[in-house]
Structure 1
Amino acid sequence: MNRPHTPYRRLPSISKRFVSMSVLFGMLSMMLFAGSASAAAASSMPDLQLNAQAAFLMDAETGQVLYEHNADDKLPPASMAKMMTEYLVEKAVEQGKIKWDDVVTTGENAAAQVGSRVFLAKGEKHTVKELYVAMAVASANDATVQLAEFLGGSEQAFVEQMNETAQQLGMKNTHFVNTTGLDVADMPKNFRPSGGGETMMSARDSATLAYHILKEMPQFLEVSKIPSLKFRERDKTSTPNWNWMLESNKNIPNFRKFAYPGVDGLKTGHTPTAGNCFTGTSLRNGTRLIAVVMNVPGGLYDGTRFLETAKLFDYGFNNFEKKTIVEAKTPLKGIETLKVSKGKHSSVPVVTGQDVTIMAPKGSTVNITESTIKANQDPLPAPVKQGDKVGTATVKYTDPATGKEMTATVDMVANDDVNKAGWLSLFFRGIGHFFSSLFKGIVGLF
């Protein structure tokens, strides 16, 4: 969480051992959900009685939108902005630019951060992994800034990478001015950006970023579900994860009413300007959902944002189910075969390479309205082996939840062998084609 550090005060809803911490903290495009929703789609959304300025719900597997409310409004995301730093750090490690055990020295900017932090002192040394966990679990502003400077040379240079990546991921209503989500006025004076403006992100964009994190680096959940953090060995206490919805909280009396089955991430956010925000994810019965709420009113310690998020999860899990609209190893109407050149047969039967599964309202019917195929080559050169990928099909269907026309793609594979024809077969086939063309030409004269 991004807030000034204040001394401990007794709070009625949380036990002293969980709130006597000096740091408040939090957890942590697809084309199917990029862009603004149509008016028809918006009008079809149910009234969930959400107490949030913006909200969004999607299927984490396909990126399919299940619910949206003011989803493209640009709002301050507070610490949810840190998800982009988490994404870029993971990418840098994956690409070999940095290592988890690289030692990082704390600089002036990180040491001067306010709000949620692990109180890094200038010159203090920690590994990338230690700072990363502090950022993800404790929402530490100082750890976040120090990682940004380690990767980008300066926080503002790293912010440029954040904005470039946001565009690449299809986050059309996002702009970062810092790595933490703090208001510019709360940044260290000597390190404030000169361009003006504040960090802004839409609920759709926050879900988009979460979608890419889960798709590309699912191992992040092993960090985001850590229930508490003891940053230094000498620290006398551990700080609990600010994500009170974690399923692991179900046995903790003060968090029990917020704990939700399957929740293992991702990122909370709070500033006086942003209000209470949360991007959460839950996995139940093989289905993972991503939910976002922004600017939820109420006190920081009353947990209202988690209750609002639970409404989204309840709606998704209770009202939708996975439906396979195209089964693997089946032909698609109108594109049952593809032409083959110089083969023993002039065509090959083709079938789908995998299932196409979507989320649909329970009891609804989803029909394919159109199927088209893009072959690898037209015609396919022989030989063709059964199971070879020969092209990609696009199917169109109407989303029963929103009424919008949607598309999905599926690999098409050969369903039989077509061996290359011998020269004699090709010779007589050529003669046949010659006389066939000649006959058609003669008929055309009359």
Structure 2
Amino acid sequence: MIWKFFKTKWQSGIASFCSLILLFGLVVAPLRVQAASKPINAKAAVMIDQKTGQVLYAQNAEKLLPVASVTKILTLLVIEDDIAHHRLSWDQKIKIDHQVAKLSNDWRFSNVELDEGQSYTVKALVESMMIVSADGSAEALALASAGSTKAFNHKMQKMAQKAGVTDAKIYNMIGLSNGELGKYGIKGVNKDAENLFTATDMAKISAYLLNHYPDVTNLTKQKFVTFKIAEGREYQMVNINAMLPQNGVAAKNGEIDGLKTGLTDKAGNCFVGSGTFSGRRVITVVLHANGQFNNQFTQTQKMIDIVQNRSQPVTVNNINQLSKSVSHIKVAHGKNQHQVSVKLKPTVVWVPKTMVNQKHWPAKITLRQNIDSIAHRKVRAPVKQGERLGTVDLQLKGMPTMKLPIYATQNVAKRGLF
């Protein structure tokens, strides 16, 4: 009991000191935004528009890498899905077993103290998992959701697939190595195995989470939250996202309100951010930032600056804003008609500033792979009005291709044999 008393006091003191660090930037290195021509100083990075998925910046974004506690974004997605389908509830209490309590009190990991036999609400555990990256809390949530690490991994894989991720290597809900989970590690898997995702994977998962559960930011933007360990014992949690407003390395020319940091020896310093810039909500991912402590935030700001300096969001309302060649598609075997006009739904697209006033933006049509086409240049009649025929691919200078769905504006009947 004496140890627990002093430990709680020590945690409280650390929390207060961290508050000063984040609020005033006392020991956090200031942001030094480098020239836009230089790459992001990290193993991988990507920035996307959350709503449309448009890739605004990409660097080594398809390479599988360890991501440490950034994994907990996917863990949260599973828990949110459980709550939405009434398998869990925010007020539901989860009782802590011996192994989870042991992990939560291991000084090597990020944690809030969880007492064996004590019960905590799903909400409190989620807050501690996302705000101070509590590993024990993530483990407790996963076991309450699925009963075992292996079963929860299966749920994580299913949710990742829904988000469009199929290549990830998932071993646990935390982002630690398999061996570090002790009893709850997966048998038959190397003890050094860690979760592997690409930067694009993490961007897709984060966008899926926020598109389906936008209230997540109400949780992740909290700077200070009190965690009740037990009666008479509390821990003041300080959000470790240093890019939140008014912090020492707060985002510039916009605002960050989430999501998650990560750090292991293999993964290095990682950060997935979510926030609003140029009037659009974006997702940023930096994996294994090189250099000094907190450089993941420096590199995130640098990436945001690159995107904002070279491009701006513009609404594409009409197909006529694009190359003339994409306004129609040739039709084979049409009755009295050899082409069909197409349209697109109004969509916001980030466009290079040098092209904003250009009359027609370069684009080409890609027909759906499963559509009945001839040499990928024509569609066979009949064609139905409103049918999705493929995409118009915007080829904007210096930016990855942006694909916009296109639809037939009219019916085209098939001609008879005679």
TM-score of the two chains, using structure 2 as the length reference: 0.75
- Secondary structure of the equivalent of 2:89? coil
- The answer as to whether partners of 1:73 and 1:173 remain within 8 angstroms in 2 is no
Please, which of 237, 261, 266 is the counterpart of residue 239 of structure 1? 237
Q: Kindly, what percent of the aligned residue pairs are identical? A: 26
Amino acid at match of 2:350: M
Distance 1:371 1:49 in 2: 31
CA contact (8 A) 2:311 2:351 kept: yes
Instruction: Give distance in 2, aligned partners of 1:66 and 1:152.
Output: 36
Which residue is 2:303 aligned to? 312
Counterpart of 1:88? 78
- Is 1:367 the counterpart of 2:359? The answer is no
1:176-226 C-alpha deviation (Å, 9 max, x unpaired)? 211111123432x22222212222222121111112112221111111111
Q: Measure, in 1, the Cα distance between the counterparts of 2:90 and 2:348.
A: 37
- The 8 Å contact of residues 72 and 173 in structure 1, kept in 2 or not, is answered as no
CA distance in 2, matches of 1:336, 1:329: 17
Matching residue's letter, 2:17: K
Partner AA of 1:178 in structure 2: N
How many residues are aligned here?
371
1:339-354 paired onto structure 2 within 5 Å? 352=343, 354=345
Partners of 1:329 and 1:354 within 8 A in 2: no
* 1:257 CA displacement: 3.4
User: Please, which of 204, 211, 215 is the counterpart of residue 215 of structure 1?
Assistant: 211
Q: Pick closer, same or farther for the CA change 1:231–1:401 going to 2, 3 Å.
A: farther
| 1:269 paired residue number | 262
Q: Distance in 2 between matches of 1:98 and 1:177?
A: 23
Find the residue that maps to 1:270 and give its secondary structure: strand
Change (3 A) 1:190 1:17: closer
- Alignment partners' CA distance in 1, 2:255 and 2:239: 16
Q: How has the CA–CA distance of structure 1 residues 329 and 354 changed in structure 2, closer, same or farther, with 3 Å as cutoff?
A: farther
- 1:379 Cα deviation (Å)? 6.0
CA distance in 1, matches of 2:117, 2:312: 53
Specify the SS of the correspondent of 2:262.
Answer: strand
8 Å contact 2:12–2:235 — kept in the other structure?
no
Contact 2:249 2:297 in 1 (8 A): no
Note the C-alpha offset of 1:144.
0.8
Rounded Cα–Cα distance in structure 1 between residues aligned with 2:136 and 2:42: 29
Opposite residue 345 of structure 2, the aligned amino acid is Q
Q: Distance in 2 between matches of 1:116 and 1:8?
A: 12
What's the offset of the Cα at 1:325?
3.9
Counterpart of 1:441 in structure 2 is none
1:303 aligns with 2:287: no
Structure 1 residues without counterparts, runs of 5 or longer: 21-45, 382-388, 416-432, 438-446
Shift of 1:155: 2.0
Residue deviations 1:292-319 (CA, integer Å, cap 9, x gap): 11112345xx422111110011112222
Q: Structure 2: any 5+ residue segments left out of the alignment? A: 1-6, 22-35, 373-379
Give CA-to-partner distance per residue, 1:333-377, whole Å, 9 cap, x none: 32699x999xxxx9xx987473133212112252343386989x9
Letter of the 1:284 counterpart: F
Are 2:344 and 1:357 aligned?
no
Amino acid across the alignment from 1:193: I
Q: Is 1:98 the equivalent of 2:88?
A: yes
Q: 1:396 aligns with which of 389, 392, 397?
A: 392
Once residues 397 and 75 of structure 2 are traced to their aligned partners in structure 1, the CA distance between those partners, rounded to angstroms, is 33
Aligned-partner Cα distance in 2 for 1:242–1:214? 20
2:275 is the counterpart of 1:282? yes
Q: Give the secondary-structure state (helix, strand or coil) at the position aligned to 1:218.
A: coil
- Deviation digits for residues 235-281 of structure 1 (CA, Å, limit 9, x no counterpart): 4552210001012xx1xxxx333344310111101123321110012
1:203 counterpart residue number: 199
Cα pair 1:134 1:140 within 8 Å, conserved: yes
Deviation at 1:410, TM superposition (A): 4.3
CA contact (8 A) 2:70 2:175 kept: yes
Amino acid of the structure 2 residue aligned with 1:78: A
**C-alpha separation between the residues in 2 aligned to 1:390 and 1:54?**
39
1:111 paired residue among 101, 104, 116: 101
Could you tell me how far apart the structure 2 residues matched to 1:172 and 1:151 are?
22
Quick one: distance in 2 between partners of 1:159 and 1:269?
A: 19
RMSD: 3.9
Q: Distance in 1 between matches of 2:136 and 2:248?
A: 30
User: Secondary structure at the residue paired with 2:216?
Assistant: helix
Q: How many angstroms does 1:57 deviate by?
A: 1.5
Q: 1:393 to 1:314 in 2, by over 3 A?
A: same
The residue aligned with 2:405 is 409
- The alpha-carbon deviation at position 411 of structure 1 amounts to 5.2
Alpha-carbon distance in structure 2 between the residues aligned to 1:143 and 1:175: 22
Number of the residue aligned with 1:77: 67
Query: Which residue of structure 2 lines up, in the alignment, with residue 182 of structure 1?
Result: 176
